[in-house]
Structure 1
């Protein structure tokens, strides 16, 4: 991996390929945190302070310290190698913003789905939407300090995931583990392409 500091705004001349990745998940699972932790440039954020208008609309149980929410997208960049750069688009988690997903998903290689096991049921609708849209994805379990630990088998069953869907754990605050989760997604999607028969429609 190329070591890139936050002050590096320009891509090296050796970069030959750019991929677009979505970071999705339910409200408050850590999408903005992950994009911010891995981005080598100052991330673009569209966060707004939550007001009384969100009372009864945004479920804050277990998120009592949350005071802002993404209303459009988060954007960041990660140079994975001398030849490959990744552009990250974090999506809003609330249902009322789901219409934004259509535009953000255009041209995306795949989706990293962040999940908070303390509120596992909040992720069911997100996963269903991805399956309906046919977007390839990997699941990253964001380990909060008070998260319970579950086996991969338990998580795969609870989330009704296909055997080939990758599940990894990460700490969205930590760059290394978050980048590893993104690499897992890229490898998964690349493997899907390699497994597709020659001449098959993309």
Structure 2
């Protein structure tokens, strides 16, 4: 199977990006571009947890409902959710109604507050796991990596849930820690240029 396929405009894209009507815009404007906004980082790590065992299309279609349900993934707000909020979310047909995953997001919001206090921002923490180039193979040839394993282990040690190595690597792909657009994809060069202009957040001394 080819790694690139033409989209509706004739430009070649990563093959997965033309497999559903919701994917091209996400692929072209979000996936792989470097992100430093803490809310977006928390949203993505949360949605990757919800994706566990499901397709990304399922989650992407439901993303507006997830944002409404979780206060636009403001972890300062979500950390204050209680059992009544969990019950409300379990009754929300717009999201994935999985108690363990819902409770994980609430738990992880509190853990995120701890990380911000320690590291200054979620961005400073997550970007500290940016992998060296020699760790990566051909684009989309990996489902995890040593850096993703290290991130997963550290998050779990800190009490985060639904953050396994595959989830961590998918998060890294999406948030730009890795440029995993395949060779020949029209967006690969755009991501490379965005990454060249990007300065990772400073690490606390």
TM-score band, normalised by shorter chain? under 0.3
**What TM-score do you get using the length of structure 2 for normalisation?**
0.27
Q: Which has the higher strand share?
A: 1
**What TM-score do you get using the length of structure 1 for normalisation?**
0.27
Q: Which has the higher helix share?
A: 2
